[in-house]
Each structure stands twice: as structure tokens, then as C-alpha cells.
Amino acid sequence: MLRAVFVRTLKAGVTYEQFKEAWVPENTDGYPAKVSVSRNVADDRQVITVLELDMSLAEFEDKRAALTRPDALERLAEIVETTELAGLYEGVLDEKDL
């Protein structure tokens, strides 16, 4: 299991709907990831996006372009003040290990 994780602080006045419009691909049929977006309870401008991808790193590299809009980086640059974390992680422990 791979997880792509992003922690971003939105610019003042940006709504979650604007964030969704900037990030979510136009066609989500057959989307290859489970996605969650959450806001920080102490700072509602900070959002964390987690994509869970049940695939190998090689498969991820092949599908990377389909995970966001082609112009997502430009769209996000307009509404995101900072990105505190952006990384791809490989799972080493999950609920079956507990």
C-alpha cells in the first residue's frame, strides 16, 4: 500500500469547495485511489490530503498523471499559501498487524 500525503495551508478566504475544484480530476470513473481530505481542528486553513493506493511503486509512476488535473499545480498555487509536507510513503504496518 502506498500513501501520498500532503499538508497544505490555504490562503486566507479560500473555501474547501475552491480547494476541491482545484484538485479533484474532472473524470473520477475508475479512480485508482481512496482519498480523504481533512482540516486541522486548530487551524481550519490547514488541510491534509491522503491518497491510499493499492499498487506498486512502478504502477504508481504509470498512473501518477491521472491522479490530479493536468493543471492542478497551477490551480493549487493560486489558493495554497504553503505546503508543509508532500511525500509518498510505503505502508509497513496496518490494522491486521495490531
> Residue 68 contacts by C-beta under 8 Å, 6 or more apart in sequence?
23, 25
> What was the pLDDT predicted at 66?
76
- Domains and their CATH numbers in the chain: 2-90 (3.30.70.100)
Cα 3 from chain centroid (whole Å): 9
Instruction: Find where cell 490555504 sits.
Output: 10
Ordered per-residue pLDDT tens for the chain, 98 residues: 999 999 999 999 999 999 998 888 777 788 888 999 999 999 999 999 999 999 999 999 988 877 888 888 899 999 999 999 999 999 998 878 78
pTM of the model: 0.86
